């Protein structure tokens, strides 16, 4: 299991490809360059206001790749409203936790 953010999402994808072993990914605020590494067994978390992974990029997320698109969130998965940002992080944390449990149940540790 790899959990990565921003530039690290591309590095994680490249590393998994080089290792040639099944690795589940949580891609937090990925970059467009990460798209070739997205597949089934990946969770992509991004925001609607992320200028580094815009709507056009989100439209290219392959089918079979799970995406959590957080309304109003920027590249840092936050907004100008601190309380709203905390609520977003709660939702994201719960989804990532559930995803990790799903992957563990599927035989990936």
pTM to 2 decimal places: 0.92
- Residue 41: predicted pLDDT: 87
Q: Which two tokens stand for residue 18?
A: 């080089």
CATH of the domain at 71: 3.40.50.1820
The number of domains in the chain is 1
Half-sphere exposure of 47 (CA within 13 A, CB side): 20
Between strands 25-28 and 66-70, the pairing is unpaired
pLDDT value at 33 more than 90: yes
- The domain of 41 spans 2-105
């Amino acid at each position: 299991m790899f959990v990565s953010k921003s530039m690290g999402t591309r590095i994680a994808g490249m590393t998994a490809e080089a290792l040639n072993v099944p690795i589940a990914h949580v891609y937090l605020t990925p970059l467009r360059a990460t798209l070739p590494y997205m597949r089934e067994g990946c969770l992509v978390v991004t925001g609607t206001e992320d200028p580094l992974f815009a709507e056009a990029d989100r439209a290219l997320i392959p089918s079979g790749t799970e995406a959590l698109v957080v309304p109003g969130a920027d590249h840092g998965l936050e907004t100008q409203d601190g309380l709203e940002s905390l609520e977003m992080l709660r939702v994201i944390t719960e989804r990532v936790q559930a995803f990790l449990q799903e992957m563990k149940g599927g035989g990936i540790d």
